[in-house]
Structure formats: C-alpha cells, structure tokens
C-alpha cells in the first residue's frame, strides 16, 4: 500500500469509484487499519516498543514524549478540517 496508500489505493479509489481525494484518503487509512493493529500488537508482544521508549526516555523527559504525538495529531486534524 506504500506511503499512506498514495501510490495505489488512493488513485484507484479516485479513478474507479469517482470519490474525492479526502474520502479516498480516509478509505485508504481504514483499509490500512487492520494491518497497523496487527503490527502494533506484534511489536508490543516482542518488546520492540519498550526498547525504543527506553532509549528516548534517556534523551527526553516523559512529560514531552507522552503528549507530543497527541498534540501533533490534534494540530494536523485541525488543519485538515479547516482546509477546504
């Protein structure tokens, strides 16, 4: 599915089903969700996140690491909602 489905899935949805680009992007993410959930579960099970998190905590305090992704996603969602 490449980068956010942009190489195959999004153009297919736009061209074959005549959906707008926002709908196609949302559908692409929806299709990718099961793959992402399985990968997340697998990495959690083998401890990969614990290693990465442990390394980052040595550089940044947890007060920055925990809210930073949430703030980034909220700002991104706001900008996307405001863009017509």
Q: Tell me, yes or no, whether 53 lies in a domain.
A: no
Q: Are both 3 and 34 inside the same structural domain?
A: yes
> Could you tell me which of 83, 69, 63, 73 has the C-alpha nearest to residue 21?
83
Task: For residue range 22-57, list pLDDT tens digits in order.
Answer: 888 888 888 888 888 898 889 888 877 666 666 777
Q: Are both 40 and 64 inside the same structural domain?
A: no
Q: By 3-state DSSP, what share of the chain in percent is helix, strand and coil, each rounded to 5?
A: 75, 0, 25
Q: Are both 39 and 1 inside the same structural domain?
A: yes
> What is the percentage of the chain residues whose pLDDT exceeds 90?
8
CB 4 within 8 A of CB 35: no
Q: Tell me, yes or no, whether 77 lies in a domain.
A: yes
Q: Tell me, yes or no, whether 1 lies in a domain.
A: yes
Give dist(CA 66, CA 69) in Å, integer.
Answer: 7
Query: What is the model's pLDDT at position 54?
Result: 67
């Amino acid at each position: 599915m490449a980068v956010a489905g942009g190489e195959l899935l999004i153009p297919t949805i736009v061209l074959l089903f005549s959906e707008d680009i926002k709908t196609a992007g949302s559908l692409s993410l929806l299709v990718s969700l099961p793959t992402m959930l399985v990968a997340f579960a697998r990495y959690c099970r083998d401890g990969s996140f614990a290693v990465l998190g442990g390394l980052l905590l040595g550089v940044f305090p947890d007060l920055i690491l925990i809210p930073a992704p949430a703030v980034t996603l909220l700002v991104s969602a706001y900008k996307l909602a405001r863009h017509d």
